[in-house]
């Protein structure tokens, strides 16, 4: 028996054919990240809910070699490099060797609605081994400058068309 719950989100549901590990952490649903304020008190880093934007996707690419390594980075290093954490509505993909961004996006939820815009931003020759997409999010709203030596590169924000 299949149960369908009503979707109260302005976005369509994420693809059912994508491996579950592309959506969720295998480490208990996310880690808490904190940054020190000027007063020395820890404060939580903003999460993707703090830059939620209906009809938008934010995308990062890199050369991380395995799904386990990428999940570990998302859970423990991404917040340090990008000043936020991705806890909700994220998808990821890892390939054995670098592929064009267009090929890397095949199979992502709603990829046909944002691939051309992302490829236009990245350039048709851009390649990567891994990709992370945060659905319903506009990372640009945070106004954070990523660390220059981050393991992923922020490609940009695209609209779902």
Kindly provide the residue ranges of all beta strands, DSSP E only, lying in the chain, ordered along the sequence.
Answer: 34-36, 42-44, 52-62, 90-100, 127-137, 152-159
More confident residue, 119 or 47: 119
Structural domain count of the chain: 1
97: in domain: yes
Q: Are 129 and 65 in contact (CB under 8 A)?
A: yes
Is 127 among the domain residues?
yes
Lowest mean pLDDT among 18-32, 45-59, 139-153: 18-32
Q: Tell me which residue range forms the domain holding 56.
A: 20-26+46-159
137: in domain: yes
Cα separations in angstroms, 113 against 33, 99, 129, 157: 32, 20, 21, 12
pTM recorded for the entire structure: 0.74
For the chain, the average pLDDT equals: 81
pLDDT of residue 42: 61
């Amino acid at each position: 028996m299949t149960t369908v719950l009503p979707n109260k989100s302005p976005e369509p549901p994420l693809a059912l054919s994508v491996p579950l590990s592309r959506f969720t952490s295998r480490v208990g649903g996310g880690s808490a990240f904190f940054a020190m304020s000027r007063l020395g008190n820890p404060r939580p880093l903003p999460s993707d809910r703090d830059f939620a934007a209906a009809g938008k996707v934010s995308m990062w690419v890199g050369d991380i070699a395995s799904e386990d390594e990428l999940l570990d980075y998302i859970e423990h290093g991404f917040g340090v490099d990008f000043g936020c954490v991705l806890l909700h509505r994220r998808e990821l993909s890892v390939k054995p060797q670098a592929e064009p961004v267009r090929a890397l996006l095949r199979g992502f939820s709603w990829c046909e609605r944002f691939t051309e815009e992302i490829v236009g931003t990245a350039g048709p020759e851009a390649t990567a081994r891994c990709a992370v997409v945060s659905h319903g999010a506009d990372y640009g709203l945070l106004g954070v400058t990523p660390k220059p030596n981050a393991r992923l590169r922020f490609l940009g924000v695209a609209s779902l068309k």
